[in-house]
Structure 1
Amino acid sequence: MVLEGTVLAGREFEPVEGRVVVENGVIQRVERDTVSSNDIVLPAFVNAHTHIGDSIAKEAGAGLSLDELVAPPDGLKHRLLRDADREELVEAMVRSLRFMRAGGTGAFVGFREGGVEGVEAIRDALAGIDIESVVLGRETVDAMAAADGFGASGARDGHFDRERNATREAGKLFGIHAGERDPADINAALDLDPDFLVHMVHAEELHLDRVEERGTPIAICPRSNLVTGVGAPPIGDLLERTSVALGTDNVMLNAPSMFREMEFAAKLSDGRVTAPDVLRMATVAGADLAGLDCGCIEPDRIARLLVLDGDSDSLAGYRDPVRAVVRRAGVDDVKRVLPA
C-alpha cells in the first residue's frame, strides 16, 4: 500500500512531500518525491484517557459539581451506569467507538467501570470495530485481571496499594487520576509509582519535581477540566518536565473528538506549546504512555494512519500543515483511516 501527499514524518512531524510505503500493516519507509496529491498523511490519534461507558449519559447533570457528576461510588454517572441495561450500554459504547474511529482515532485508553462485567461489556462493543484498545478495569483486582490493567479513581477515594501490587505482578498498566480538584492527592498517587497520571491540573513545583525524577507520563483532558470547573492544566509546565498525552475524558461531558481536543489545547496554551507539541500529545505520546507501537510515521511502526483532504474547503490554502491539522482540521476532512 502506498499513500501519497504531505507526510508528517517522525516525532517532529516534518512535512515531507512524497509517500508512505506500507507492507503487511507495517510502515516500511517514507520516500521524498514530487507528487500530485493534496492529501495530508499523519498518524491516527491515540486518545490517552476516556470513559466510554459514559456514552449512555451524554450531557446529563448540567450544573452539578465534579463530585456530584463522577465521584465513586454514587456520583450521577455511577448511578446511571448501575441502572443501565447491558444491551443499551454496549450499543451506546459502539456508537462512541464508531464516532472515534471516523474522527481519526486509531487507539485509546479506556477506564471502564463496572468490574469484570464492565470490561466484558466494552470488549463486546469493540467487536468488529478496528480501533486498538487499552482497557483498564476499575473497582476490583478481578476487573484488572480481565482487562489490560487498572484505572484508579484517585488516592482521595481510597487506598490502592493492593490493586497496584496486583497490577505490577501481572505486568499490566496502572493509571490513576491525580490533582484534578486540588493538589491534595498528588503525592499519594505518586507514592503508588503509577505508570501514568491523569489530569494534574493543580500540580505544584514539588509535584513536578517528583514527576520529572520518576519520568511519569501524564494524560491531560483540558476540555473536561473546563466543563467541570476545576481549572486548566498547566500544559507548558508539564511538557517541560515529562511526556504529556491528550485525552477526551468522560463521554458524558465531551464528544470523544481528538480534533476538538487538539484545537482547544492549542488555543488554551501559552506560547511555549507549539503545534507539533500538541500533535505529539495526540499521537505518539499517548502510544508511548500505553505501550502501543503506533502514533508515529517511521519505519517498523504499525501503520495506524490518518489521511486528510488538504484541498477541502476547510484546509485549502494552509501554509503550515501541522498547525492546520491541530487548529483547523475536523472529521469532515477525513478521507481514510487505516487500517481500513
Structure 2
Amino acid sequence: MLLEGTILRGRGFEPVEGRVIVEDGEILDIEEGTAHTDDIILPAFVNAHTHIGDSVAKEAGEGLSLEELVAPPDGLKHRLLDEANRDELVAAMSRTLSFMEQSGTAGFIEFREGGVDGVEAIEEALVGDDIEAVVLGRETTAAMKAADGFGASGANDGDFVHERSETAEANKLFGIHAGEVDSSDINPALDLKPDFLVHMVHPETLHLERLADSELPVVVCPRSNAVTNVGLPPVRDLLDRTTVALGTDNVFLNSPSMFREMAFTAKLMDVSTVEVLRMATINGAEIAGLNCGLVEPGRDSELLVLDGDSDNLSGAQDPRRAVVRRAGVDDVKRVVRS
C-alpha cells in the first residue's frame, strides 16, 4: 500500500511531501518527493483515558457536581449503568467505538466499571472492531485479571495497596485518578507507584517535584475538567516534568473526539502544536504499550489520512496547526489499520 501526501513524520511531526509505504500492517519506509495530492498523513490517535460504558447516558446530569455525576456508588452515572440492561450497554458502547474509529482513533485506555461483567461487556462491544483497546478493570482484582490491568478511582476511595500489588504481580497496567477535585489524593496515589496518573488538575509544588523525580506519565482530560467545573490541569507545568497524554474521559460528558480535545488544549493551554500532537498520539501509545503513534518505519500502520483540500482545511499554511486547531471528523478521508 502507498499513501501519498504531506506526511507528519516522526516525533517532531515534520511536514514532508512524499509517500508512506505500508506492508503487512507495518510502515516499511517513507520516501520523500513531490506529492500529487493535498492529503495530510499522520498517526492515528490514542485516547489515553475513556469511560466508554457511559455511552448509555450521553448528556445526562446537566448542572450536577462532579461527585453527583460520577462518585461511586451513588453518582448518576453509576445509577444509570445499574439500570441499563446488558444489550443496551453493549449497543451503546458499540456506537461510540464506531465513532471513535471513524474519527481516527487507533487505540484507547478504558477504565471499565462493573467488575468482570463490565470487562466482558466491552469485550463484546469490541467484537469486529479494529480499534486497539487496553481495558482496565475496576472494583475487584478479578476484573483486573479478566482485563489488561486495573483502573483505580482515586486514593481517597481506598488505599488500593492490595490491588496495586496484584496488578504488579500479574505484570499488567495500573492507572489511578489523582488531583481531580483537589490535591488531597495525589501523594497517596504517587505512593502506589502506578504506571500513570489521570487528571492532575491540582498538583502542588511537592507533587510536581515528585513527578519530575519519578517521570510518571500523566493523562489530562481538559474538556471533562471544564465541564465538571473542577478547573483546568496545569499542562505546561506537567509537560516540563514528565510525559503527558490526552484523554476524553466520560462519554456521557464529552464526545470521544480527539480533534476536539486537541483544539481545546491548544487554544487554552500554554502548549505548542507539536506537543499537542504528541499528547494525542505517541505519548498515549507509549503509556498503553502500543506500537503506533508515529509515522516512521517499524511502527504499526495505524494512520489517519485527512483531506487537505476540504472546505475546512484548504489554504492552511501550516498542516500541523491545521490538524490540531481546525481539523474535524468531516476532514477524515481514510483511516488505515494495521
* TM-score (normalised: structure 1): 0.99
SS in 2 for 1:37: coil
CA distance in 1, matches of 2:150, 2:258: 23
Alignment pair present for 1:296 and 2:269: no
Q: Give unpaired runs (5+ residues) of structure 1.
A: none
Q: CA RMSD in A?
A: 0.7
SS in 2 for 1:157: coil
Deviation at 1:129, TM superposition (A): 1.0
Alignment pair present for 1:76 and 2:89: no
CA distance in 2, matches of 1:168, 1:89: 30
- 1:176 aligned partner: 176
Amino acid at match of 1:88: E
CA distance in 2, matches of 1:73, 1:171: 28
CA distance in 1, matches of 2:288, 2:208: 21
Amino acid at match of 1:305: L
- 2:324 aligned partner: 326
CA distance in 1, matches of 2:35, 2:303: 19
- 1:26 aligned partner: 26
Amino acid at match of 2:314: A
- 2:85 aligned partner: 85
- 1:45 aligned partner: 45
CA distance in 2, matches of 1:29, 1:234: 38
Mapping for residues 1-340 of structure 1, pairs under 5 Å: 1-270=1-270, 273-339=271-337
Deviation at 1:191, TM superposition (A): 0.3
Deviation at 1:35, TM superposition (A): 1.6
Amino acid at match of 1:72: P
CA distance in 2, matches of 1:74, 1:236: 35
CA distance in 2, matches of 1:100, 1:316: 24
Amino acid at match of 1:199: H
Amino acid at match of 1:281: M
Deviation at 1:88, TM superposition (A): 0.1
Counting aligned pairs with the same residue, the percent is 69
Deviation at 1:310, TM superposition (A): 0.3
Deviation at 1:241, TM superposition (A): 0.3
SS in 2 for 1:241: coil
CA distance in 2, matches of 1:124, 1:260: 27
Amino acid at match of 2:282: V
CA distance in 2, matches of 1:151, 1:247: 14
Amino acid at match of 1:20: V
SS in 2 for 1:233: coil
Amino acid at match of 2:251: V
CA distance in 2, matches of 1:336, 1:130: 14
Q: For each residue in 1:3-58, what CA deviation from the matched residue of structure 2 results, as whole angstroms up to 9, or x when unmatched?
A: 00000000110101001111100011111011211100000000000000000011
Deviation at 1:82, TM superposition (A): 1.1
CA distance in 1, matches of 2:158, 2:253: 24
SS in 2 for 1:69: helix
Deviation at 1:265, TM superposition (A): 0.4
CA distance in 1, matches of 2:38, 2:317: 13
CA distance in 1, matches of 2:8, 2:306: 11
CA distance in 1, matches of 2:6, 2:98: 26
SS in 2 for 1:63: coil
CA distance in 2, matches of 1:7, 1:226: 33
Amino acid at match of 2:80: L
Deviation at 1:159, TM superposition (A): 1.4
Deviation above 6 Å: which 4+ runs of structure 1?
none
CA distance in 1, matches of 2:193, 2:93: 31
CA distance in 2, matches of 1:213, 1:16: 36
Deviation at 1:61, TM superposition (A): 0.8
Deviation at 1:74, TM superposition (A): 1.2
CA distance in 1, matches of 2:104, 2:311: 18
